[in-house]
């Protein structure tokens, strides 16, 4: 393998939910490795855009509500128009709803499953079709990285639709790897542990829960979005050409404990 196998120079990546937190950490890491970015999300990703551009990479914002499949075709078309193609897709966008299973509503079930699993699949399908065509012309491999969860492996509590959706993401990752490996596409996933973001601010501020979490993590700290970014660079690079259908836990040792 000639050259730096982690180098993403010239590669074109789409990251969903890139405005903050894990999505932002992934986008910045891909840019530092050399990729240009399409930043997809419901809200503005202005800060992420500035960070990517500060790395000397091109970035474009694509505003889209990924709670339904309606914008999928347009999102892909905009990314291809802006960047020329899509080599890397990171499916990071997701939502969570919390309630006891006995009280959980159909509306909360559908909202989470639609965003976290249904739209993820159909966006991946649309990008996959583009990648298959591009791979047949160029010989370059496409890379798809799904964001799974600790609850891809564990049950959790009070998040039935989130657990079901993230378990489904793990299964889809393996299925798509099985189908697309011979078509020039690698499909893998990252399962983040407890990452310090705006979404986990309440947990970090809760003295009891924060202590319980820290006591279980062998690494002894919360993760940083950049920890997920490093894993995303690996799975998006030539270094991972022989990695297929894998769910990489980036959790400070949480599952090992």
Residues annotated as catalytic (active site), given as ranges: 162
Strand, coil or helix: 42: coil
Beta-strand ranges (E) seen in the chain are 12-16, 36-41, 59-63, 88-91, 142-147, 185-192, 247-250
CB 90 within 8 A of CB 40: no
Three-class secondary structure of residue 40 per DSSP: strand
Q: Cβ neighbours of residue 103 under 8 Å, at least 6 residues apart?
A: none
| Contact indicator for 18, 10 with CB cutoff of 8 Å | no
Query: Could you tell me the two tokens for 81?
Result: 């128009």
Find out whether 91 and 146 touch, Cβ atoms under 8 Å.
yes
Q: Are 141 and 184 in contact (CB under 8 A)?
A: yes
């Amino acid at each position: 393998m000639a050259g730096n196998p982690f180098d993403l120079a010239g590669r074109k990546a789409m990251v969903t939910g890139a405005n903050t937190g894990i999505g932002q950490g992934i986008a910045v890491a891909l840019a530092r490795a050399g990729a240009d970015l399409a930043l997809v999300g419901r809200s503005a990703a202005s800060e992420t855009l500035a960070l990517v551009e500060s790395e000397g990479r091109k970035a474009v914002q694509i505003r889209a509500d990924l709670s339904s499949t309606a914008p999928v075709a347009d999102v892909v078309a905009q990314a291809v128009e802006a960047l020329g193609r899509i080599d890397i897709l990171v499916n990071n966008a997701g939502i969570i709803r919390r309630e006891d299973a006995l009280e959980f509503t159909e509306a909360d079930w559908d909202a989470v499953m639609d965003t976290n699993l249904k739209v993820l699949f159909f966006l991946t399908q649309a990008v996959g079709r583009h990648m298959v065509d591009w791979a047949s012309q160029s010989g370059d491999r496409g890379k798809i990285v799904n964001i799974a969860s600790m609850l891809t492996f564990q049950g959790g509590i009070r998040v039935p639709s989130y657990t079901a959706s993230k378990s489904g993401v793990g299964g889809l990752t393996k299925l798509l790897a099985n189908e697309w490996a011979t078509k020039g596409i690698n499909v893998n996933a990252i399962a983040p542990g407890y990452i310090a973001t705006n979404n986990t601010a309440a947990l970090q501020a809760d003295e009891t829960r924060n202590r319980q979490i820290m006591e279980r993590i062998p690494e002894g700290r919360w993760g940083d979005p950049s920890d997920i970014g490093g894993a995303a660079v690996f799975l998006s690079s030539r270094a991972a050409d022989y990695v297929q259908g894998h769910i990489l836990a980036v959790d400070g040792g949480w599952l090992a404990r």
